Amino acid sequence: MSSSVSPTGTEHGDYAHLAALQRRYAELPATDPERQRVREQLISGYLPVAEHLARRFAGRGESLEDLAQVATIGLINAVDRFEPDRGANFFSFAIPTITGELRRYFRDHGWSTKVPRRLKDLHLDIRSSQTQLSQQLGRAPRPSEIADQLEIPMSEVIEGLQAGEAYRSSSLDEMLGEQANTTLGEFVGDLDDELAIIEDREALRPLLAQLPPRDRTILALRFFRQLTQTQIAEQVGISQMHVSRVLSQTLGFLRERMDTSD
């Protein structure tokens, strides 16, 4: 079976025979041994859908195998809960079910190491205080300023900031939920003037072209427009921590490939 999946999900082509199987599965009484076999056929038949969705969530710090497993759990739930006689299309039911399972996984596993609940909460408090203070001060706050606002000792702020480093906020709330400002693309569209100062720009240019547009924008705002991470965060509509992670990753990517041309 082909692994291609139409994102709109019509029950035609590769999956047409599964729709019939689905109805059979719904009709079979729970005690019928045939039911288990049909269920397995359905799960393995729709597996490419789960794998496709898992791949869409790849590259965010979780292994593809883990994601495929999580997506499969979502698929099994979808197969079991789907009611074909309600007239809905299986895909319109299964895709949100599987995606929901993947999102939940990221929410619960977004921390790369075991971080105690207390530190997770502390980290969230620090982040919201950071956003608020940045607006008040017009710059990123100092740890002591966050400590004052939250009325906790500075040592706790530092602890919370360190915990934040363990948080690979591949957190989908950030990755998918936030609305990046798309007009920025035009703003930084042409970097030729800025690049004039860089002597190895000919090696740099094709690498910049490979970057996702938002990452390229963030890089340009930091290194060519000389904005601070906090200012970029505000313009792009993501957190400063997220800007920081994007910049580190992008610099690592560029450094690795630039050096081969040194």
Partner 1 sequence: MAGAAGGVGQTGVTEVYTAASAIAIPTIRTVAADLAARADFDLDSIADLRMAVDDTCTRLVRLAACNATLSCSFAVRVERIEVTAEVDVNRMMDPLPRGSFSWWVLRCLADEVTALVLPGEAGQGGRVCIILVKQALSAGLL
Phi then psi for 119, rounded to 5 degrees?
A: -70, -35
Q: How far is the CB of 100 from partner 1 (least distance, A)?
A: 33
Two tokens, residue 123? 């980290």
By CB under 8 A, the residues from 227 to 246 that bind partner 1 are 227-231, 240, 244
The residue written with tokens 């920081």 in the block is 244
The residue written with tokens 């969230």 in the block is 124
**Closest CB to partner 1 among 217 and 229?**
229
Applying CB under 8 A, what is the total number of residues that bind partner 1?
37
142 forms part of the interface with partner 1 (CB under 8 A):
yes
CA dist., res. 240 & res. 238, Å (int): 7
254 forms part of the interface with partner 1 (CB under 8 A):
yes
Strand partners, 167: 111
**Closest CB to partner 1 among 51 and 159?**
159
Piece of the chain touching partner 1 by CB under 8 A; list 14-22, 26-34, 54-62, 252-260: 252-260
Nearest to 109 by CA among 158, 138, 49, 66: 66
209 forms part of the interface with partner 1 (CB under 8 A):
no
Kindly tell me the number of DSSP H helices and DSSP E strands found in the chain: 14, 0
204 forms part of the interface with partner 1 (CB under 8 A):
yes
**Closest CB to partner 1 among 50 and 219?**
219
